[in-house]
Chain A
Amino acid sequence: ILNVEQSPQSLHVQEGDSTNFTCSFPSSNFYALHWYRWETAKSPEALFVMTLNGDEKKKGRISATLNTKEGYSYLYIKGSQPEDSATYLCAWGGGGADGLTFGKGTHLIIQP
């Protein structure tokens, strides 16, 4: 069974605080790790695709790191804003399949 685990399941953060959460995935047969942001009633929105061990990507206040040897990725949000409230999904590409294996997401709520 190829599991992608995300923690925590949900997170309440005060506006202006920084936060981070974790995605763990199988380290064997790794191809790529994707992060998505999913707001209620909208489509998942691609944030990052990372392929190399040690990769670090940044988009505005959001950044992500990747460790393929130990099978984890962190997503960081600096100075959280109410519009950051969403579910953040990570998805593992690997194991010989062409589709992505998704985690259940971290539901982030930013409190004003």
Chain B
Amino acid sequence: NAGVMQNPRHLVRRRGQEARLRCSPMKGHSHVYWYRQLPEEGLKFMVYLQKENIIDESGMPKERFSAEFPKEGPSILRIQQVVRGDSAAYFCASSLRVGHEQYFGPGTRLTVT
């Protein structure tokens, strides 16, 4: 099954630590999207990347959050100096082209203690 892979599935970090979330898109997909689901909220768009480029980061918090999608390897969502409010489920999706169906991974549930 060449679906979207995310790891880890669960991540616990203490306040002030760094969190790194990984996403491997479906085979052949070069468009990657990150979404966040806060408790009791819907999915919120964070960032859209193509290989080696950030195309749209309009949903990313201005500080502590960054994303990359290198030429080789998975896309990484990095959260520095995590705070309790960062606790959420982070989903990655990939698509063949912009505007096409987005295929979602299983998500990474981040808990900040």
Q: List residues of chain A with CB under 8 Å of any chain B CB.
A: 31-32, 34, 36, 42-46, 49, 51, 89, 91, 93, 97-105
- Please state if A99 and B107 are interface contacts (CB–CB under 8 Å): no
Q: Which of B4, B43, B106 contacts A102 (CB 8 A)?
A: B43
- Please state if A97 and B99 are interface contacts (CB–CB under 8 Å): no
Q: Which of B45, B47, B106 contacts A100 (CB 8 A)?
A: B45
Q: List residues of chain B with CB under 8 Å of any chain A CB.
A: 3-4, 33, 35, 41-48, 55-56, 58-59, 91, 98-107
Provided the pairs A98-B56, A99-B56 are in contact, do residues A34 and B102 lie with their beta carbons within 8 angstroms? yes
- Please state if A49 and B100 are interface contacts (CB–CB under 8 Å): yes
- Please state if A102 and B56 are interface contacts (CB–CB under 8 Å): no
- Please state if A97 and B45 are interface contacts (CB–CB under 8 Å): yes
Bound form: Cα–Cα A14–B18 in Å? 47
Could you say which residues of chain A place their CB within 8 Å of the CB of B101? Answer: 34, 46, 49
- Please state if A105 and B42 are interface contacts (CB–CB under 8 Å): yes
Bound form: Cα–Cα A34–B45 in Å? 14
- Please state if B42 and A31 are interface contacts (CB–CB under 8 Å): no
Output the nearest chain B residue to A36 by Cβ-Cβ distance. B104
- B106, chain A: closest CB distance, angstroms: 5
Most chain B CB within 10 A, of A31, A49, A100, A104, is at: A100
